[in-house]
Amino acid sequence: MTSALVVDAALVLLVLGLALWITAARAAYGAAVGFVAYGLLLTLVWVRLAAVDVAMTEAALGSGLTGLLLLGAAARLAPYEADEHRRRPGTVLRVLVGVLCAAIAAGLAAVVLLLPDPAPSQALAVAAHLPATGLGNPVTGVLMAYRAVDTLLESVVLVPALIGVWSLSTEMGWGGRPGFLTPCRSGSALPLLARVLPPFGILVGIHLVWAGADDPGGKFQGAAVLAAMWILVMVAGLREPPPVSDRLMRFLLVVGPLCFIGIGAAGIRLAGAFLAYPEAYAKPLILAIEAGLTISVTAVLGLLLAGPPVPEPQYQRQSRRRS
Amino acid sequence: MRLALDLFTIVAVTLGAIFFLAGTVGLLRFPDTLTRLHALTKADNLGLGLVVLGLLPQATAPLGWIGLIAVWLLALLSGATVGQLLAEAVRPPEWDQTRTPDAPPVGHPNAPEASSHD
């Protein structure tokens, strides 16, 4: 008991210390690297709290993909960073921001500390009704059955996010290939890794989705692993990212949300409510939605990192310069 | 038998932890990036290898064993690749010029066919 307490206390101190360090870091690149380590520590915290589903999401999306996005942003902002430091905001603004942040932290702490003991929970009701969904993992059950609208919205919101990234393209770049991931120099070790790792990574990704019905895992974690394999292949220069005008790719981007909305709308007739599943087919329908969403989330995550499209001549020039 | 296996676990995991400690000290104390990479990859390869070896008797055969060994092999693969990539990024340019200038090695950035990646 006490040794577990020591580990937990050390984890909490590490998380708090690293959070302070990231906030105080001057360079964006260092802060982004710290953020990745922070995500991995948070993953351990979630494991200690027995929330393995959340831990895997944090490791794959919170730390891995968000970390990559931040690293890419830091690398792109580096030329302007010195300028930005010179024009630091005035004392009043900085104090105001600090006070507001402290107020949010204090508010959150108050909400958590003032919860009645035991905290209000629907966990027993979920556990009692889980067999009706045919699923074994209560987290998947909540996400796909009881909070299906939330899940639908968070899978749909990925598409506008990608449209936002694409909107950063110049007018000449529209219809071209995404230009953030320029291939590495040839002769580096990356192409070897990009040839050896994907078979294992794809297996692990599909396993995470499939196992998510009964064990920790699910479409977001699995899709993050699949997207990572795709990005690895693109960065290694083995495959180019598809042009944003590609019809098949656009279809794959929306097939998951369309499948979800379609099955949800069918629920109005068959089960009496939007996003309700007829009880006899609940599990196959949920698996079909998960499969469709996995494809779409993989495509969106990969293309988010691939960035806005650039004109074809610029894309070729970037590829040549690195090789 | 159980006692012997538990002892083996304790010894191997402790040895692995010592390698991680030594690797961390090296990462913090060594003078330049290449030697730091050396320290880091040693910790990954041998430290994690010894921890996995020590945990094998505690895992259920055969799925647990395969899982543990797969974790180690994947860490080896990614560690070796990342080590290569970082070393390539920090390699001083004059190292390239000490090679015979007219015949750069295959796969070298200046090699004639290097611009065609598939």
Tokens of A148: 């299906």
Residue B114 covered by a domain: no
DSSP A272: S
Domain residue limits at B33: 2-95
Across A231-245, average pLDDT: 88
Angstroms from A187 CA to nearest CA on chain B: 4
For A194-215, what is each residue's pLDDT tens digit? 898 999 999 999 998 888 878 8
Residue B113 covered by a domain: no
Angstroms from B3 CA to nearest CA on chain A: 22
Among partner residues B70, B81, B107, which is closest to A187 by beta-carbon distance? B107
Residue A120 covered by a domain: no
Residues A174 and A252 in one domain: yes
- Output helix, strand, coil percentages for chain A, rounded to the nearest 5: 75, 0, 25
pLDDT of residue A186: 65
Residue B107 covered by a domain: no
Cβ neighbourhood burial of A87 (10 Å; 0-12, 13-18, 19+): exposed
pLDDT of residue B99: 53
pLDDT of residue A81: 82
User: How many domains in chain A?
Assistant: 2
CA distance A16 to A61: 21
pLDDT of residue A300: 93
Closest Cα partner for A176 from A260, A259, A241, A85? Answer: A241
Residue B29 covered by a domain: yes
Among partner residues B85, B111, B117, which is closest to A183 by beta-carbon distance? B117
CA-based end-to-end distance of chain B: 55
Bridge partners of A177?
A: A310
Residue B12 covered by a domain: yes
Cβ pair A193:B78 closer than 8 A = yes
Q: Higher confidence at residue A126 or residue A303? A: A303
Residue A269 covered by a domain: yes
Chain B residues near residue A200 by CB distance under 8 angstroms? 70, 74
CA distance A51 to A282: 25
pLDDT of residue B105: 52
Cβ pair B80:A189 closer than 8 A = yes
Among partner residues A184, A197, A323, which is closest to B115 by beta-carbon distance? A323
CA distance A111 to A103: 12
Q: Are A275 and A150 in contact (CB under 8 A)?
A: no
pLDDT of residue A1: 63
Residues A53 and A188 in one domain: no
Residue A124 covered by a domain: no
Residue B117 covered by a domain: no
Q: Higher confidence at residue A160 or residue A142? A: A160
pLDDT of residue A96: 95
Among partner residues B70, B77, B106, which is closest to A193 by beta-carbon distance? B77
Residues A153 and A78 in one domain: no
Residues A60 and A146 in one domain: no
Residues A249 and A159 in one domain: yes
Give the Cα-Cα-Cα angle A43, A112, A153 (nearest 5 degrees).
60
Instruction: Please report which confidence band the pLDDT of residue B118 belongs to, taking 50, 70 and 90 as the band edges.
Output: very low
Helix residue ranges, H only, chain B = 2-29, 33-42, 48-55, 63-90, 94-97
CA distance B14 to B54: 9
Residues A196 and A64 in one domain: no
| ipTM of the shown complex | 0.72
Angstroms from A20 CA to nearest CA on chain B: 21
Residues A217 and A313 in one domain: yes
B81: Cα within 13 Å, side-chain hemisphere: 20
Q: What is the DSSP string of A150-194?
A: HHHHHHHTHHHHHHHHHTTS-TTTTTSEE-S-PPPPTTSSHHHHH
Residues A188 and A64 in one domain: no
End position of a domain, from candidates A55, A73, A88: A88
Examine the pLDDT at A163 and tell me if it is beyond 50. Answer: yes
Q: Closest-CA residue in chain A for B76?
A: A193
CA distance A177 to A159: 17
Q: Report which residue type is found at A212.
A: G
Angstroms from B109 CA to nearest CA on chain A: 7
Cβ pair B118:A238 closer than 8 A = yes
Domain residue limits at A255: 135-323
Please say whether the dihedral angle defined by the alpha carbons of residues A302, A305, A308 and A309, taken in this order, is positive or negative.
negative
User: How many domains in chain B?
Assistant: 1
Residue B17 covered by a domain: yes
Residue B67 covered by a domain: yes
Cβ pair A190:B118 closer than 8 A = no
pLDDT of residue A137: 81
Residue A304 covered by a domain: yes
End position of a domain, from candidates A62, A88, A114: A88
Residues A34 and A157 in one domain: no
Residue A299 covered by a domain: yes
Share of chain B above pLDDT 90, in %: 28
Residue A129 covered by a domain: no
Residue A69 covered by a domain: yes
Mutate to test the interface with A, among B24, B76, B117, B118 (most CBs of A within 10 A): B117
Closest Cα partner for A148 from A298, A17, A300, A259? Answer: A259
CA distance A158 to A229: 19
For B16-51, what is each residue's pLDDT tens digit? 999 999 998 998 888 888 888 888 888 878 899 999
Residue A98 neighbours by CB under 8 Å, 6+ apart = none
